[in-house]
Structure 1
Amino acid sequence: MKNRCPQNHPCPSIRVCPVGAIGQIGFDAPTIDQEKCIHCKKCVKYCPMGAIQVKE
């Protein structure tokens, strides 16, 4: 949900992703590589604005 991401800081969820599925260029909203994502939801817990959601 890009509209919830302030996009002015390094995304803290990137550091907790165990498979490296989250990327960020500059301070743009992070992107999630669905092919790599294992749906562990660690990124959801660390997103301070609740912008990352995992659909089952």
Structure 2
Amino acid sequence: MAFTIDPGLCPQNHRCPLVAACPAGAISQEGFALPEIDPGRCVECGLCAAACGRQAVRERN
């Protein structure tokens, strides 16, 4: 199970709080751009999906 961020649900107008919430450091963001999840670093804990108030984090198919 890998995760991705839906650009249609992510507002991309602030520093994403998920960057700091990820225990594996798998989420990065440049400026206010769409955050990216590095599948190589992701430990698939699901904390990002639980913490996202916009429900923008989804399981990747």
**TM above 0.5, one fold?**
yes
Identify the structure with the greater strand proportion. 2
Q: Distance in 2 between matches of 1:47 and 1:11?
A: 9
What count of residue pairs does the alignment treat as equivalent? 56
Report how far residue 54 of structure 1 moved.
Answer: 3.0
Query: Structure 1 segments of 4 or more deviating over 4 A?
Result: none
1:32 to 29, 37, 59: 37
2:50 to 45, 48, 56: 45
Q: Which consecutive unaligned segments of at least 5 residues does structure 2 have?
A: 1-5
Q: Which has the higher contact order (CA 8 A, sep 6+)?
A: 2
Q: Which residue type is aligned with residue 45 of structure 2?
A: C
TM-score (norm 2): 0.83
The answer to whether the aligner puts 1:11 opposite 2:16 as a matched pair is: yes
Percent identity of paired positions between Structure 1 and Structure 2:
41
Q: Which consecutive unaligned segments of at least 5 residues does structure 1 have?
A: none
Q: Which residue type is aligned with residue 27 of structure 1?
A: F
TM-score (norm 1): 0.89
